[in-house]
Amino acid sequence: MGDNKLETILECMHLNKDQLKSVKDRLHIEMMKGLGKASHANARVKMYPTYVRSTPDGTERGDFLALDLGGSNFRVLYIKIGEKVEQFSEVYKLTKELMEGTGEKLFDYIAECLANFIGKQGLKDRALPLGFTFSFPCQQKGLASATLTMWTKGFKASGVEGKDVCVLLYEAVKRRGDILLDVIAVVNDTTGTLMSCAHAFPDCVVGLILGTGTNACYIEKLENVETWDGDTDPPKQVLINMEWGAFGDDGVLDDLRTEYDESIDKKTHNVGKQKFEKMISGMYLGELVRQILVKLAENHVLFDGKTTEALRNSWKFETANLSQIEGDTSPDYKVCRKLMKDHGLEITDQGCKIVKAVCAAVSSRAAQLAAAGIAAVACQVGKSDVTCGVDGSLYRKHPRFHDIMTATIKQLAPGVNVKFVLSEDGSGKGAALVAAVAHTLKSKTKAE
């Protein structure tokens, strides 16, 4: 049945406790480099201060707009914050041409969608405070200033890297001349997730995204942030956007990377970048599984040694398929059979067991690596109870991700109880809450 061959091929995907503890320790070292003034420039985990100093306290009120750009769908939202939070939103599709064309065309489209939405909501004559969720690595110079350091997740629109995305948005709106715009804050989806969860769980201090990409953020003491250049008034804390997807870009994880990780990296727009993300997130796990299935077929462990053009086609096996296969409890492996048939392959029960084992190996490694990262963050927070807000399709849809992460964190940080809470629309509501907190603070300062 090729069990020995299967074990040999999957062995590289299995991480033991010592290896995971080492990942946790290595990430902590990288975090310190990112926070340090002298070491920040060369740090791969950038630990950017977001200029968000407070989480919601429940007193926030008002009407806000939010933009959410972070994947192939772009959203505009109108959010009313009162005793309850009401929101109205519309999704607009981003084409490959917009994602890979010029930055001017991309931002003109964003402005067009915003104008369209504002018109529909009857808000044309109101300059509502706006929170802009821009879920790509950015260095912030202030709450409403974010310079894109590098496109990720398949985007490569020209003329945006190295530019302030808030300025680009204002320029696109100015070209139209028909929108009143007041951008209060630019945030990424990780920050939005933490803020959204903190609205419901005031003790939330960590945010985590496990979706197409991955990232984490947390609230750090100001005294530990040597790169801080803002005021030092209370509260003496700031939310740090880790940009942990780039962990390992300097080679510190190379001993744990596999031939499949290397192969995936070579097929991406950003070769050599976001190595941690490429081992964990939803954009890549399906492709990892596909590559291992091809290797198993070539070694006559699967499909009687045959492959099809569909199976050999990069990126065609999706991470959603992995979640579906692992979540299927039917005795006849109905889901696996159908998905393999879609790839032109007939499969036996034993073959389905093997495919399921491959999916489990890939998802387990991803969940364990994410958990090692959160263990490092939780230890840095320095509390015995840590609440982590989490969002993303991988975490939400995979049947075992949460359980594997929880078990792994217990092993790696035994003195810390990490509680995961699901975000309610962090990238929309969270952005509005950041704008609301900043707007409330601004109003109080003016009143004083």
Q: Tens of pLDDT along 205-250?
A: 999 999 989 999 999 999 999 999 988 988 999 999 999 999 999 9
Q: DSSP states of 195-231 as a string?
A: HHHHHH-TTEEEEEEESSSEEEEEEEEGGG-TT--S-
Among the listed residues 173, 195, 226, the one whose alpha carbon sits nearest the alpha carbon of residue 60: 195
Please confirm, yes or no, whether 189 is among the known catalytic residues: yes
Place of tokens 């804050």: 185
Q: Which amino acid is at 35?
A: L
- Asked whether the beta carbons of 150 and 273 are under 8 A apart, the reply is yes
The active-site residue, picked from 26, 44, 53, 75, is 75
pLDDT tops 80 at residue 309: yes
- Asked whether the beta carbons of 219 and 244 are under 8 A apart, the reply is no
Q: For residue 310, count CB atoms less than 10 angstroms from its CB and return exposed for 0-12, middle for 13-18, buried for 19 or more.
A: middle
Measured N-to-C along each axis, helices 349-381 and 319-327 cross at an angle, to the nearest 10 degrees, of 110
Domain range summary for the chain, segments of one domain joined by +: 51-200+426-436
What pLDDT, on a 0 to 100 scale, did the predictor assign at position 442?
67
- Asked whether the beta carbons of 372 and 28 are under 8 A apart, the reply is no
Average pLDDT over residues 286-304: 96
Q: DSSP states of 74-105 as a string?
A: EEEEEEEESSSEEEEEEEEEPPHHHHHSBHHH
- CB within 8 Å of 84: residues ≥ 6 apart: none
CA distance 422 to 388: 9
| pLDDT, the chain, mean | 94
Beta strands (DSSP E) in 314-356 are none
The active-site residue, picked from 44, 54, 68, 135, is 135
Helix (H) or strand (E) holding 390: strand 385-391
Please tell me the least confidently modeled range out of 51-55, 103-107, 151-155.
151-155
The active-site residue, picked from 68, 108, 164, 189, is 189
Q: What is the 3-state secondary structure (H, E, C) of 232-289?
A: CCCCCEEEEECCHHHCCCCCCCCCCCCHHHHHHHHCCCCCCCCHHHHHHCCCCHHHHH
- Asked whether the beta carbons of 27 and 45 are under 8 A apart, the reply is yes
Among the listed residues 205, 236, 202, 239, the one whose alpha carbon sits nearest the alpha carbon of residue 417: 205
What pLDDT, on a 0 to 100 scale, did the predictor assign at position 50?
94
**pLDDT (tens digit, 9 = 90+) per residue, 328-386?**
999 999 999 999 999 999 999 999 999 999 999 999 999 999 999 999 999 999 999 99
Among the listed residues 19, 12, 16, the one whose alpha carbon sits nearest the alpha carbon of residue 260: 12
CA distance 324 to 50: 36
CA distance 54 to 237: 8
Please confirm, yes or no, whether 304 is among the known catalytic residues: no
- Asked whether the beta carbons of 391 and 428 are under 8 A apart, the reply is no
- Asked whether the beta carbons of 362 and 13 are under 8 A apart, the reply is yes
Q: Which amino acid is at 122?
A: G
**pLDDT (tens digit, 9 = 90+) per residue, 82-113?**
888 899 999 999 999 999 999 999 999 999 99
Helix, strand, or coil (residue 10): helix
Read off the tokens for 349: 């029960």
Preceding amide of 49 cis, omega within 30: no
pLDDT tops 80 at residue 412: yes
Helix (H) or strand (E) holding 23: helix 17-35
Q: What's the Rg (C-alpha) of the chain?
A: 22
| CATH for the 51-200+426-436 domain, from 3.100.10.20, 3.30.390.10, 3.30.70.1400, 3.30.420.40 | 3.30.420.40
